[in-house]
Structure 1
Amino acid sequence: MEVKEENKLKTLSYSGIFLSCFTDYSEKCIHATPEHVLVYLYSGEQIIEDRNKKIKLQAGECAFIRRDHRLKMYKNSKGDALYKGISLTFNRAVLRDFYSKMNKSEIPATIKVSDKTVFKLEPSPAIDSLFQSLTPYFDSNIKPTGGITHLKLLEGIYTLLNSNEQLYPILFDFAEPWKIDLLDFLNGSYMEELSMEQIASFTGRSLATFKRDFKKISNLTPQKWLIKKRLEMAYIKLKEENKKVQDVYMEVGFKNPSHFSTAFKKQYGMPPTEI
């Protein structure tokens, strides 16, 4: 079991089952995982932002997020109710084992593969039963056994299949993740604080493959490319949009105004205040 506790967040992890509780009003995070995830909101509010779509979860609601996609999530308290969420992560090994034991004749024969990333599931007794049985484990003094967590993951798979037939071809597609275009991803994410490992994962690559592919599109290192991109966008915002330096440096992804000013002067030969 892994326990992470900060001022804002307490997360308990039990072999693929994650229980999170935010004690502050709101938390924003970038969600990206190589595995499918089933999210249930116990209390508070959760907003999942997928490109131009927003999916809102209230207490008692549930959503399935397919693997190899990158989303923004906003996890909020609501009134006096803290955010509390539970998620189940289904790795390929669990899904392959489940599939190998299935009666294949029970699998629907003609289902078109959906291109949706997030599936909000209709409330059902099966969903309520699954997640209500996990809520006692918000108490970190109680630890489920490995057998219990495995059974809960299997129960989660049955729940998904009974909730939406479209999930059959998604859950049991064991192909390796596809590669997302690097420039498309970086042009949309340059302002965010991401490690090279995260960028590699989000684009469906190992770190070594990411570095090799990046060399094909730029003579710069990924870190230098990101700084150059941030400075170019900062210049546009200062010159063409007449924005203030104190607003711009954070918008483009710099955390420190001094670092921003030094890097800007190095690239453009003048401090940003003179633009």
Structure 2
Amino acid sequence: MTNPTEILPGVIFYSYFSKERKDKVAFMEHNTLVMQVSGRFSLETATQKIAMGAGEMLLIQKNQLGEITKTPLDDQDYETIVICLQEELLRAIALEEQVETGRKYSGPPNVLIPANDFLRAFFQSVIPYIRNPQGAVTARLATLKVKEAVHLLIHSKPGLEELLFDFSEPYKMDLEKFMLSNFHYNVPVEKFARLTGRSLAGFKRDFQKIFGMAPRHWLQERRLLEARHLIETKNKKPSAIYLDLGFESLSHFSHSFKKKFGKAPSEYPG
């Protein structure tokens, strides 16, 4: 496996995974456009599950937690081109084009983009920079390419302006509902706070009122309870669930489980 090539660090990436499936939990900080070159890409969030194959495109809204699965197919390498649509650049485009901003987007957070010749040609135009990465693209040229991508997106699917140019702050969402849906993601408490539209101090204060304990303590307890449920009622193996429940290692999971319930997860019949 090789690491993703950054054509322009933080803006344009070319991902390449040779013949092996890869799963990861990601915090999507920026709006992101993904073009699938080969293989299968799937994204699962608390509200959506989307998959796409070669030639398909997906626009991912900023400020989301999700599990991404990258799967090679038919003895082909897994390949994607990823365009990061950072807010600073989107604000510049909105000013240049006099786009009305300030409205809160309320549609689906992840949108499959209908394939068309213009977007296909755009991604084809990025390929030469991928294949000749040694200083072939300047920051100015990369910025122009990203602007081109934004204009083509708006042209291909009217209404995307509301998603792309939503610069409103995350609204203060239902913290209890959000945490019960997303507790298994292994991300810092600071990101949970941001995603619920709160400062870290405000998040901890509201969390204590709702759950009666600190966030880190609750997350540990909730993940362990879910683990016991999966092991006892679903006959799941500890090695098959510890990563999905936000534990970084099997040994850490087993130690925490035994401390909580008095016996190791491997001692359960299965």
Same fold (TM over 0.5): yes
- Structure 2 equivalent of residue 176 of structure 1: 169
Gaps of 5+ in 1: 1-6
Q: Distance in 1 between matches of 2:21 and 2:35?
A: 17
Q: Please state whether the residue corresponding to 2:210 is helix, strand or coil.
A: coil
Contact kept? 2:4, 2:13, Cα under 8 Å: no
Deviates more, 1:229-238 or 1:37-46: 229-238
Contact kept? 1:50, 1:117, Cα under 8 Å: no
* CA apart distance, 1:162: 0.2
| Identical columns (%) | 31
* CA apart distance, 1:137: 3.1
Q: Please state whether the residue corresponding to 1:134 is helix, strand or coil.
A: helix
Contact kept? 1:8, 1:24, Cα under 8 Å: no
Q: Please state whether the residue corresponding to 1:217 is helix, strand or coil.
A: helix
Alignment of 1:66 onto 2:37: no
- Structure 1 equivalent of residue 82 of structure 2: 87
1:102-155 deviation line (CA, Å, top 9, x unaligned): 256xx8xxxx96521222112112201211111233344354100111101110
- Structure 2 equivalent of residue 187 of structure 1: 180
Deviates more, 1:152-161 or 1:67-76: 67-76
Amino acid at match of 2:113: L
Q: Please state whether the residue corresponding to 2:226 is helix, strand or coil.
A: helix
Calculate the aligned-residue CA RMSD, in Å. Answer: 3.2
Equivalences, count: 264
Q: Please state whether the residue corresponding to 1:86 is helix, strand or coil.
A: strand
Residues 261, 209 of structure 1: alpha-carbon distance in 2 compared, 3 angstrom cutoff: same
Mapping 1:123-142, distance limit 5 Å: 123-139=115-131, 140-142=133-135
1:47-67 deviation line (CA, Å, top 9, x unaligned): 233446443322222111222
Match of 2:112 among 120, 135, 138: 120
Alignment of 1:161 onto 2:154: yes
Query: Please, what TM-score do these two structures have when normalized by structure 1?
Result: 0.79
- Structure 2 equivalent of residue 9 of structure 1: 3
Contact kept? 1:39, 1:85, Cα under 8 Å: yes
Q: Please state whether the residue corresponding to 1:97 is helix, strand or coil.
A: helix
Contact kept? 2:24, 2:69, Cα under 8 Å: yes
Deviates more, 1:125-134 or 1:190-199: 190-199
Q: Distance in 2 between matches of 1:230 and 1:103?
A: 47
Residues 55, 102 of structure 1: alpha-carbon distance in 2 compared, 3 angstrom cutoff: same
Q: Distance in 2 between matches of 1:103 and 1:256?
A: 50
Alignment of 1:22 onto 2:14: no
Gaps of 5+ in 2: none
